[in-house]
């Protein structure tokens, strides 16, 4: 806190009488607001709080450990310093539970004022779970043109902004240069096409006589199937805006499912599943030097840019590189995966939507956050103005690759209601083809039909 802020703080000191008045007024105001179904900002007005009094902003994120916990706390402290009218309170919720818990809390009428989630959650607007931020955006005169177009689309539901994006995840193909050298491959020429990836991955497999995989070159199911991204790399779209419904490219998906199946057949699907099961604990050991990425147990893999700094932290001796996801040469509109906005949401009926929006807007626009939060998380800022900061370029070659080569070419993962269901159905389709020898054309048609029904259901 600087001298000016300390002075401002001391001027706001209250006498005991004022404090009692304020608490009494606040309690009465809150009761009235509760009865009338008003939000926290209205409650503050009713309570007669002195100008400059703080309102609490409850923020939920999953940044609970390691460098990202420190970075998040730093961002929150900076927000509090820049916005003395708000008193942010950070509550850590495991990433795997955060969405469910927010939905449950929203249903119960006590959600946080802001929380961190991902682009697909924008679909929650269809069930009324999110505050429409468009009026706040208009009032604050937010420059929406200063977002990546794909990210901006993901922030919107039916034309209105329902989320503020802090950063945009792109996917990299990571490759272990040590393993490539070991296998006689050129580490300066990583695969650019699916065919090259198949070929180079096969060279680096280490298989026991009984078929057990000892070290893996590449398989599209490890660490996860990445169905959205490989779908884009095979030239499929997901959503038809004019029709307002799911629209997958059937031909591309049949080819993709056959590709997955080919890997199941090549390794033996049981061997592949066994390898996955052996190492999948704790996110494939993402936060451990024994993790699969840092020990040469996999040579090529596709995952978000967010792993980049983990590689430096947990595998400092691993010589690795990153490149765009290889694409299918024969596909007309093949893309290097999809992009996913990391978003801050303001749940519907939260106590302090003003504070929630202020925080979300701060996180999406602050250079401090870009430098001290997004970059340590190795994700690209969602605003080109921030992505062009000198500190971003100085961070490393990955930022330029993500910003200039990948982001402009990725397929935007649309924010439609039921996209979580579609993701689940696509993963099931891969399993059915690999394990049950199901017909790719049938399973993909079934997945699309069921997902379309779900879209209709969510629209009510």
Partner 1 sequence: MLRLKRDPQSQPNSWRTDNLPAWGLFFVAPWIIGFIAFTVYPFFASLYYSFTNFNIINLTPRWVGLDNYVELFTADPLFWTSINNSIRYAALLLVFATVFDIFIAYLLSQNVRFLSIYRTIFFFPVLVPVVAASLTWIWILNPRYGLMNGLLDLIGVKGPNWLASPDTAMYSLIFIGVWGSGRSVIVYLSGFNDIPRQLYEAADIDGASGIQKFWRITLPLLSPQIFFNVVTLIIFSLQSFSEVYIMTQGGPANSTLLYALNLYNRAFRDYAMGYASALAWIMFLLILGLTLIIFKFLSGKVIYER
Site residues, partner 1 (CB under 8 A):
100, 103-104, 106-107, 124, 127-129, 210, 270, 273-274, 276-278, 281, 348, 418, 420-421, 424, 428, 431-432, 434-436, 446, 450, 453-454, 457-458, 460
Of the two residues 281 and 289, which places its CB atom closer to partner 1 in the complex? Answer: 281
**321 touches 186 (CB < 8 A):** no
Of the two residues 343 and 401, which places its CB atom closer to partner 1 in the complex? Answer: 343
Of the two residues 57 and 130, which places its CB atom closer to partner 1 in the complex? Answer: 130
Nearest CA to 165 out of 180, 153, 155 is that of: 155
Of the two residues 170 and 434, which places its CB atom closer to partner 1 in the complex? Answer: 434
Which structure tokens are listed for 442? Answer: 């049938």
Of the two residues 179 and 225, which places its CB atom closer to partner 1 in the complex? Answer: 225
Of the two residues 106 and 165, which places its CB atom closer to partner 1 in the complex? Answer: 106
CA distance 98 to 57: 17
Report in angstroms how near the CB of residue 410 gets to partner 1 at its nearest. 26
Of the two residues 192 and 286, which places its CB atom closer to partner 1 in the complex? Answer: 286
Report in angstroms how near the CB of residue 190 gets to partner 1 at its nearest. 28
Report in angstroms how near the CB of residue 16 gets to partner 1 at its nearest. 40
Nearest CA to 454 out of 263, 246, 276 is that of: 246
Q: What is the DSSP letter of 305?
A: G
Answer whether the bond into residue 223 is a cis peptide, omega within 30°: yes
Of the two residues 276 and 373, which places its CB atom closer to partner 1 in the complex? Answer: 276
Residue 425 CA, chain-centre distance (Å), reads 20
**399 touches 392 (CB < 8 A):** yes
**55 touches 87 (CB < 8 A):** yes
CA distance 249 to 419: 16
**225 touches 259 (CB < 8 A):** no
Report in angstroms how near the CB of residue 273 gets to partner 1 at its nearest. 4
Which structure tokens are listed for 358? Answer: 């202020």
Nearest CA to 301 out of 323, 281, 317 is that of: 323
Report in angstroms how near the CB of residue 212 gets to partner 1 at its nearest. 8
Q: Are strands 55-61 and 114-118 parallel, antiparallel or unpaired?
A: parallel
Report in angstroms how near the CB of residue 421 gets to partner 1 at its nearest. 5
Report in angstroms how near the CB of residue 431 gets to partner 1 at its nearest. 4
Of the two residues 86 and 416, which places its CB atom closer to partner 1 in the complex? Answer: 416
Report in angstroms how near the CB of residue 396 gets to partner 1 at its nearest. 35
CA distances to 25, 42, 43, 90, 103 from 48, rounded to whole Å, are 6, 10, 9, 26, 32
Residue linked to tokens 């008003």: 38
- Please return the burial class of 204, using the count of CB atoms within 10 Å of its CB with bins 0-12, 13-18 and 19+: buried
């Amino acid at each position: 806190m600087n001298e000016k802020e300390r002075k401002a703080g001391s001027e706001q000191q209250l006498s005991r009488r004022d404090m009692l008045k304020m608490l009494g007024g606040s309690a009465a105001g809150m009761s009235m607001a509760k009865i009338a179904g008003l939000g926290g900002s209205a409650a503050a007005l009713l309570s007669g709080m002195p100008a400059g009094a703080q309102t609490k902003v409850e923020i939920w994120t999953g940044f609970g450990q390691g460098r990202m916990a420190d970075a998040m706390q730093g961002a929150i402290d900076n927000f509090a310093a820049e916005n003395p009218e708000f008193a942010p309170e950070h509550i850590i919720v495991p990433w795997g539970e955060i969405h469910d818990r927010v939905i449950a809390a929203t249903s119960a009428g006590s959600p946080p004022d802001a929380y961190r989630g991902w682009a697909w959650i924008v679909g929650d607007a269809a069930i009324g779970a999110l505050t429409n931020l468009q009026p706040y955006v208009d009032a604050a005169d937010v420059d929406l043109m200063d977002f990546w177009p794909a990210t901006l689309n993901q922030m919107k539901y039916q034309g209105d902004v329902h989320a503020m994006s802090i950063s945009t995840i792109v996917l990299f193909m990571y490759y272990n240069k040590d393993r490539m050298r070991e296998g006689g491959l050129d580490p300066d020429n990583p695969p650019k096409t699916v065919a090259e990836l198949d070929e180079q991955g096969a060279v680096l497999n280490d298989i026991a006589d009984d078929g057990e995989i000892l070290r893996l070159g590449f398989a599209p199911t490890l660490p996860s199937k990445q169905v959205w991204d490989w779908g884009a790399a095979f030239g499929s779209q997901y959503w038809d805006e004019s029709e307002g419904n799911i629209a997958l490219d059937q031909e591309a998906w049949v080819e993709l499912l056959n590709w997955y199946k080919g890997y199941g057949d090549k390794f033996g699907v049981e061997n592949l599943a066994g390898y996955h099961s052996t190492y999948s604990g704790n996110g494939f050991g993402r936060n451990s030097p024994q993790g699969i990425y840092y020990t040469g147990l996999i040579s090529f893999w596709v995952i978000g840019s967010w792993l980049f700094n983990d590689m430096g932290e947990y595998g400092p001796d691993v010589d690795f590189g990153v490149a765009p996801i290889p694409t299918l040469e024969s596909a007309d509109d093949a893309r290097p995966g999809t992009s996913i906005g990391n978003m801050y949401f303001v749940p519907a009926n939260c106590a302090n939507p003003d504070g929630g929006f202020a925080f979300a807007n701060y996180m999406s626009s602050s250079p401090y956050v870009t430098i001290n939060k997004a970059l340590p998380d190795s994700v690209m800022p969602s605003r080109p103005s921030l992505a062009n900061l000198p500190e971003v370029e100085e961070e490393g070659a990955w930022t330029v690759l993500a910003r200039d080569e990948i982001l402009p070419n990725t397929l935007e993962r649309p924010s439609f209601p039921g996209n979580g269901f579609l993701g689940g159905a696509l993963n099931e389709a891969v399993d059915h083809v690999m394990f049950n020898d199901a017909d790719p054309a049938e399973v993909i048609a079934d997945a699309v039909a069921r997902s379309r029904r779900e879209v209709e259901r969510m629209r009510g």
